[in-house]
Amino acid sequence: MDRIRIRGGRPLHGQVRISGSKNAALPLMAAALLTEETLRLTNLPHLADIATLANVLRQHGVELRINGEAEGGSGGSVLELTAARIINARAEYELVRKMRASVLVLGPLLARQGYAEVSLPGGCAIGTRPVDLHLKALETLGARIELEEGYIKAEAPNGLKGAEVVFPKVSVGATENLLMAAALAAGETRLVNAAREPEIGDLAACLTKMGAAITGVGTDTLTIQGVARLHGAEHAVIPDRIETGTYAMAAAITDGELELVGADVGQLRAAMEKLTEAGLRVVESNRGITVSRSNGRLRGIDVSTDPYPGFPTDLQAQFMALMATADGASMVTETIFENRFMHVPELHRMGANITIDGSTALVRGRERLVGAPVMASDLRASAGLVLAGLAAEGETVVNRVYHLDRGYEHMEEKLAVCGADIERVRENR
Q: Which is nearer to ligand UD1, 403 or 424 (CB)?
A: 403
Residues 333-352 that bind ligand UD1 (CB under 6 A): 336-337
User: Omega before 309 cis (within 30°)?
Assistant: yes
CB 307 to ligand UD1: min, Å: 7
Three-state SS at 280: strand
Applying CB under 6 A, does 169 fall inside the site for ligand UD1? yes
34, 210 in Cβ contact below 8 A?
A: yes
19, 232 in Cβ contact below 8 A?
A: no
Residues 179-218 that bind ligand UD1 (CB under 6 A): 195, 199
Q: Which is nearer to ligand UD1, 382 or 396 (CB)?
A: 382
Applying CB under 6 A, does 247 fall inside the site for ligand UD1? no
CA distance 427 to 4: 11
Applying CB under 6 A, does 72 fall inside the site for ligand UD1? no
CB 408 to ligand UD1: min, Å: 13
Q: Which is nearer to ligand UD1, 274 or 424 (CB)?
A: 274
Applying CB under 6 A, does 318 fall inside the site for ligand UD1? no
Report residue 13: phi and psi, to 5°: -140, 135
- Shortest Cβ contact with ligand UD1: which residue? 173
Q: How many angstroms separate the first and last alpha carbons of the chain? A: 9
Report residue 421: phi and psi, to 5°: -95, 90
> What distances in angstroms separate CA 8 from CA 253, 258, 263, 378, 423, one per listed residue?
11, 17, 25, 22, 12
Closest CA to 389 of 318, 298, 296, 332: 318
Applying CB under 6 A, does 314 fall inside the site for ligand UD1? yes
Three-state SS at 99: coil
Q: Which residues pair with 79 in a beta bridge?
A: 41, 66
**How are beta strands 329-333 and 280-285 bridged, if at all?**
unpaired
Sort 112 into a burial class: Cβ within 10 Å, 0-12 / 13-18 / 19+.
Answer: buried
CA distance 10 to 226: 54
Q: Beta-strand (E) ranges in 112-270?
A: 115-119, 144-148, 151-155, 164-166, 188-192, 213-215, 221-225, 233-236, 257-261
DSSP state of 237: P
Applying CB under 6 A, does 377 fall inside the site for ligand UD1? no
Pick the binder of ligand UD1 from 134, 274, 293, 406 (CB under 6 A): 134
CB 67 to ligand UD1: min, Å: 23
Q: Which is nearer to ligand UD1, 207 or 392 (CB)?
A: 207
How many distinct helices (H) and strands (E) make up the chain? 14, 25
Q: Which is nearer to ligand UD1, 26 or 352 (CB)?
A: 26
Which residues are known to be catalytic?
124
Stretch in the footprint of ligand UD1 (CB under 6 A) among 172-180, 290-298, 350-358, 369-377: 172-180
Pick the binder of ligand UD1 from 3, 12, 19, 23 (CB under 6 A): 23
Pick the binder of ligand UD1 from 101, 205, 263, 383 (CB under 6 A): 101
**Contact track, ligand UD1, 26-65, x by CB under 6 A:** x---------------------------------------
Applying CB under 6 A, does 173 fall inside the site for ligand UD1? yes
Applying CB under 6 A, does 127 fall inside the site for ligand UD1? yes
Applying CB under 6 A, does 130 fall inside the site for ligand UD1? yes
Q: Site residues (CB under 6 A) for ligand UD1?
A: 23, 26, 100-101, 127, 129-134, 169, 171-174, 195, 199, 313-314, 336-337
